[in-house]
A and B are shown apart, each in its own frame.
Chain A
Amino acid sequence: MNNSFKELEKLHLEQFEKKSPEIKNQIEGEASSYKFIGDVLDLYFNKIMGVFVAMTGGDVKQDNTKKNSNPTD
């Protein structure tokens, strides 16, 4: 038995071939932006929270691991 729905899907796949590289580039660009924002947040989140806690009158714990990582200290 034929399946006209599958044939229609094939037509759409052919139609997509032309558009595919452009869409892929856009997705990769957007994904890179998300990753960059994620990395920045990951890097600075603790510091931002520390500043926030200090501003609201709390104690900010010192990061001992960083202090001890420099052998000259």
Chain B
Amino acid sequence: MLTRDIPSTMSDEDVIKEYLATQNSAYFEILYKRYSGKIFGKCISLLKDEARAADATQEVFMKILINLSKFSGKSKFSTWIYSITYNFCIDMIRREKKNPSLLVDDIETKYDKEDDVEDVYLLEMKVKRLKIILEEIPVMDKSILLMKYQDEMSIKEISEITKKSESAVKMKIKRAKQKFRKTYKEIYKED
């Protein structure tokens, strides 16, 4: 069977079932087409280097293929693979420990006293500036902002990936947004 013979409307779950049953590479190609670019996007956002992001994409995809039979279907397939991607990249950065400050998980409570940052502040930002700010903030904050605004995950989904309670996730999002605004103000003082 060729990739073009498989209906594009086929659900991820059905593609997985068929791939596991037949090991036909056409089903692998469907999954690759649907998700490889998004995985690469997350890897490059977190690792900040194209070559490393390409290597990470390859490794993440291998992890997905090897563990495909373990996908239970309890969560969306996209949530499952993004969870593997985020955890892989964060582990990679943790192993390298080039800049431990970028891994800071809990930002000091002083940010809590600041005003909430409106979603529109982040969503209407120029892409070039967004990219620069994301490169500057700690990887944990960056991950949580990407999950919320790029992957449009629910609080429940983020809490499953990060293995934190839903209230802790809400607090983390709030702090990440405050950190984002603070970094923006430091870089673009003239605005």
Contact = CB atoms under 8 A, between A and B. Distances in A.
A20 B66 CA distance: 20
A1 B58 contact: no
A2 B129 CA distance: 15
B150 A35 contact: no
A31 B40 contact: no
A26 interface: yes
Nearest to A3: B123
Contact of B127 (A8, A15, A24, A27): A8
B32 interface: yes
Interface of B is mostly: helix
A24 B36 contact: yes
B146 interface: yes
Interface residues of B, number: 34
Contacts of A2: 123-124
B97 interface: no
Which among B32, B124, B127 has the greatest number of chain A C-beta atoms within 10 A? B127
Contact of B41 (A13, A22, A23, A34): A13
A21 to B, nearest CB: 10
B44 A5 contact: no
Contacts, number: 84
A27 B41 contact: no
Contact of A3 (B25, B131, B149): B149
B110 interface: no
B124 A1 contact: yes
B40 A12 contact: yes
B66 A28 contact: no
A20 B29 CA distance: 12
B100 interface: no
B120 interface: yes
B58 A5 contact: no
B125 A4 contact: yes
Contacts of B122: 4-5
B123 A8 contact: no
Given A1-B120, A4-B127, A6-B150, A12 B44 contact: yes
Given A16-B36, A27-B62, 15 more contacts: A4-B125, A8-B131, A9-B41, A11-B127, A11-B131, A13-B41, A16-B57, A19-B50, A20-B36, A20-B37, A22-B54, A23-B40, A26-B58, A27-B61, A31-B62
